[in-house]
Amino acid sequence: MEFIEITEILIKLVVGLSILNVWLINRDKSTPWRGGNASSMQEEFAAYGLSKNAMMIVGTLKCLFAVLILISIYYKAVEYTGAIGIALLMLGAIVMHFKINDPIKKSVPAAIFLLLSLAIIFI
């Protein structure tokens, strides 16, 4: 296996597992990256002016796309769907942070995952 293949697998593992961690394990925990003064995912979506249903839809999509990215390590056919989906959702997250005038630092994780998703697409 060459360096680029190993790098791509590592990026996919970081993106896929990190997204699943945020949405399945740490959804109800406070982090310095949450929008506004939110201490949970539901509070964060409320800060953005979005409903619990919107949170469930976004969470389901993020987990689906994260799983597709992980599956794409073995089955390349789903790679673009997963990576484009995460990239678009991360772009949306950045927009939401700007919408509520969050400090730039709160957008950093979304920006990193946007860039990593783009790397998956273009590697």
Confidence of residue 40 (pLDDT cuts 50, 70, 90): very high
pLDDT tens readout for residues 107-123: 999 999 999 999 999 98
Q: What is the DSSP letter of 76?
A: G
Residue 121, judged by CB atoms within 10 A of its CB (0-12, 13-18, 19+), counts as middle
Phi and psi, residue 100, nearest 5°: -100, 15
The DSSP element (H or E) to which 55 belongs, if any, is helix 52-71
Q: Are 44 and 99 in contact (CB under 8 A)?
A: no
3-state secondary structure of 113: helix
Confidence of residue 43 (pLDDT cuts 50, 70, 90): very high
pTM for the full predicted model: 0.94
Domain residue ranges in the chain? 3-122
Per-residue pLDDT at 1 exceeds 90: no
- d(CA 21, CA 61) in angstroms, rounded, equals 14
The chain-wide mean pLDDT, for the chain, equals 97
Provide the token pair at 52.
């619990």
